[in-house]
Amino acid sequence: MLSVERVRPAYVQVAAQLQDLIVRGDLTAGQRLPVEAELSTMFGVSRSTVREALRLLSSRHLVETRRGVRGGTFVAAPDAGLLGGFLETSLGLLSGAGVISTRQLIEANEVLEIAAARFAALRRSPEQLAAIRRAVFVAHRTDDPVERYEGGGGFHAEILAACGNPLLGLVAAPVRAVLRRRFQPSCVTAEFWERGTRRHEEIYEALELGDPERSGDLMRAHLAELQALTSQPADPDADAPGQAPTDTDTEAAAGAAPVTKRATGVTIDTSPAA
């Protein structure tokens, strides 16, 4: 059997070349593309092939069509929200299929959030520090466990926003969204929430002092405690049913000294996520 490469349809090849021009920056956001007839001549294909190529690029949110006298096909402005949504969907599918385990999602989140805490200690503005402080107290406003958990999530989001690197937040948001579906906030005690709030206060104080090492260490310890809220579907990486991942395992994976964990009184949901 001869080894050959299947020839792609002409419209796919045209779309690939235009996409490469956009990604390289030769075609920039807001720039108008040549009209169909001109593109047809440039690529040596029919106008219908050009239209199919533009439809493909539009489905990828790379170009947009504008109507009117000054209408045409233009390079679309990049949208971080679209990328975040795509990543969340993809990670959710991979997690649901067992390609990515809950433990692996937790490890990825630790890398992102610990780094964000360290950067935020050095880079946060006074306004961002104030937003983090406000987020610390959101969880106090309700006794509902789900609302308290969502309020705590806002604290983490503010730190990511203050780290001075939007890429960290862009990648962390979908990871955290998928993990949120594995969390069981209704199973924990009020004492656990109070301890989490105290940890938030400690992290805030370290950020206020501009201490990156302490900010990162406290965030690492806090995330290790939050692992107890995570359901563990059956997979080779998961701990025994009813047992949260240990801090020793977590810290060893992160290459850091272990943090002593206090009892949480948390019930772990060991059933697979729906």
155 in Cβ contact with 196 (< 8 Å): no
Residue 2, Cβ density class (10 Å: 0-12 exposed, 13-18 middle, ≥19 buried): exposed
pLDDT at 159: 98
At 78 the pLDDT is 92
75/57 Cα distance (integer angstroms): 9
Go through the domains of the chain in sequence order and give each one's CATH number. 10-75 (1.10.10.10), 80-254 (1.20.120.530)
* Closest CA relative to residue 78, chosen from 167, 145, 198, 189: 167
Residue 230: its pLDDT value, please? Answer: 64
In the predicted model, residues of the chain with pLDDT beneath 50 are: 232-274
Give the tokens for residue 152. 């705590």
For residue 202, which of 225, 185, 180, 182 has the smallest C-alpha distance?
A: 225
Looking at residue 139, its pLDDT comes to: 66
> In this structure, what are the phi and psi dihedrals at residue 32, rounded to the nearest 5 degrees?
-85, 135
Which contacts (CB < 8 Å, 24+ apart) does range 166-172 have?
166/80, 168/112, 168/115, 168/116, 168/119, 169/116, 170/80, 170/83, 170/84, 171/87, 171/112, 172/109, 172/112, 172/113, 172/116
pTM greater than 0.85 (yes/no): no
DSSP tally for the chain: helices H, then strands E: 11, 2
Q: How far is CA 203 from CA 189, 216, 223, 262, in A?
A: 22, 8, 12, 17
At residue 255, the pLDDT reads: 38
Q: Are 117 and 215 in contact (CB under 8 A)?
A: yes
C-beta of residue 223 within 8 angstroms of C-beta of residue 114: yes
Contact in structure between 18 and 33 (CB atoms under 8 Å): yes
Per-residue pLDDT, 259: 38
With the C-alpha atoms ordered 78, 83, 84, 85, is the resulting torsion angle positive or negative? positive
CB contact at 8 A, 62 and 19: yes
